[in-house]
Amino acid sequence: MNKIIHKADSRGSADHGWLKVNHSFSFAQWHNPDKINFGALRVLNDDTIAGKGGFGTHPHDNMEIITIPLTGALAHKDSMGNEGTIHAGEIQVMSAGSGVLHSEVNPTDESTNLFQIWIFPNKKDVEPRYDQYKIDMAGMKNSFLQLVSPNQGDQGSWIHQNAYIHMAELDNGTSLNYKMHDKNNGIYAIVVEGKINIADEELSKRDAIGVWNENELTFAAQTKSKVMVLEVPMEF
């Protein structure tokens, strides 16, 4: 087994007033040569957006972008004609492909906290696409719920990469095993809430671990906890 530990306080951070952000990997003005990516996982941002704050219209291309609100809401508008609002308990998936313009704004007076994830695609310049859906919150109770996979028609949504995203909510004392879908993939897991033992490491809120060259991993909750697991190709 190979592993790396990324403690929550080792993340890059910035405070723009309307936006407070923590970067797991180099992003914008924060650069750490040891934290550029984990395999195909390029970005994992932990954003808190103030009420009425947001990102104006901006471009993306050739990136799979997944947004998961943890609290609050986010209004989305893009050049594909999609317009709507996602709330905590929902997920948004966008394949930027050959290019797309979009904006993201918190439409409420309360702050919104979300994860934004960027994954390198395995195909360039595909037709951009957009998807959003409501997460089956009950389905992650002491179980790994699949949110994203490479397969159209599979549980959750899909992206142009051999990557998977799962979430689980664990009761205190619960253990779950996660089996790798592909031996060439690695796992990057972040503790959303609580305290979990992963690969003999005790990790707390927003701590993360990357593991590769391992077929199966055990998650043992030390308190009531929530974890997000991103399985991505290590070479792409």
- Which of helix, strand or coil describes residue 185? strand
Quick one: pLDDT at residue 84? Answer: 93
Separation between Cα atoms, residue 42 and residue 20, nearest integer Å: 19
Q: How confident is the model at residue 224 (pLDDT cuts 50, 70, 90)?
A: very high
**How confident is the model at residue 118, as a pLDDT?**
98
* Other beta carbons within 10 Å of 109: 8
Domain locations in the chain?
A: 2-122+132-233
Average pLDDT over residues 188-213: 98
**Unique residue bearing structure tokens 């190979």:** 2
> Tokens 């028609």, residue?
153
Determine the pLDDT at residue 98. 98
CATH class of 2-122+132-233: mainly beta
Per-residue pLDDT at 111:
98
Share of the chain above pLDDT 90, in %: 99
pTM over 0.85: yes
Q: What is the mean pLDDT of residues 12-41?
A: 97
Give the pLDDT band (50/70/90) at residue 45: very high
pLDDT band for position 139 (cuts 50, 70, 90): very high
Task: Encode pLDDT of 118-134 as tens digits.
Answer: 999 999 999 999 999 99
Spatial separation of the C-alpha atoms in residues 26 and 222, rounded to whole Å = 30
How much is the average pLDDT of 154-183? 98
> CB neighbours of 122 closer than 8 A, spacing ≥ 6?
160, 161, 162, 233, 236
**Which of 179, 195, 180 is closest to 227 using CA atoms?**
195
pLDDT of residue 78: 96
pLDDT of residue 190: 98
46-95: per-residue pLDDT in tens? Answer: 999 999 999 999 999 999 999 999 999 999 999 999 999 999 999 999 99
Mean of the per-residue pLDDT values of the chain: 97
174 pLDDT tier (thresholds 50, 70, 90): very high
The predicted pLDDT at position 133 comes to 97
Mean pLDDT of 189-197: 98
**How far apart are alpha carbons 119 and 77 in whole angstroms?**
21
> What's residue 123's pLDDT?
96
